[in-house]
Amino acid sequence: MTTRPAVDDDVLTALGDLGSATLLEASGLPIDLPSRLRPVGARLTLAGRALPVQAAEGDNLPLHLALEQARAGDVLVVNAAGGDHGYWGEVLTVAAQVRGVHGLVIDGGVRDTEAIAELGFPVFASAIAIRGTSKRDARGAVDEVVLGRTRVRRGDVIVGDADGVVAIPADRAVRVLAAGRARQTAEAGYLDRLRAGELTLDIYDLRPTTESGDDVD
């Protein structure tokens, strides 16, 4: 297992407060997970440290094994290799909550979604599917998984909300927090100017130049 720098709890909480879109834009990094990962149930916000899990199609033993390895504050980030299966449901949700796990992000299906919503556990999934899984693939948690264009390593900061999910490399967390705060402050200033009657065209300096360089008779 690789060693990752541990991100402090206060940095984690502050990143969670900034929101996924601000963090993505401020970071300048390709940290967004695929947009097919949508929140399941009413609990939309999520912040925690990644525990990556790779599952074979149609098998959820790696998720059960990962829960034994999980620490409080972890978020399981699962590449379930596609497949129309419910890899996670009410039973695994309760098991995760008892261990202090902060949430689940899965490129794959989940089921028991009403129960998950009632339990208030944050789940972001690419599908809802009722077909069950086998329990044979004994891999457990791994060092990293790739979801879409983004590599997620153990200990990376996961932030999810109504807009989507980002995975911030642990060694960039403090820098991304500073950039996110700067962006939030700048946008608050833009909102004040908009309310005072200015246009985005002027605030962002977007007006097409009228000087084409061509002579006009």
Ligand X SMILES: O=C([O-])CC(=O)C(=O)O
Distance in angstroms (rounded) separating the CA atoms of residues 95 and 92: 5
136 is in an annotated binding site: no
Sequence-distant (6+) residues with CB within 8 A of 153 are 2, 4, 50, 52, 143, 144, 169, 170
Considering only residues 97 to 116 of the shown chain, the ones binding ligand X according to CB under 6 A are: 111-112
Q: Does 19 bind Mg ion (CB under 5 A)?
A: no
Considering only residues 63 to 92 of the shown chain, the ones binding ligand X according to CB under 6 A are: 86, 88-92
CB 36 within 8 A of CB 17: no
Q: Does 126 bind ligand X (CB under 6 A)?
A: no
111 is in an annotated binding site: yes
Q: Does 109 bind Mg ion (CB under 5 A)?
A: no
Considering only residues 76 to 95 of the shown chain, the ones binding Mg ion according to CB under 5 A are: 89-90
Residue nearest to ligand X (CB): 89
Q: Does 40 bind Mg ion (CB under 5 A)?
A: no
Rg of the chain (C-alpha set):
20
Residues making up the binding site for Mg(2+) = 112
Residues making up the binding site for substrate = 89-92, 111
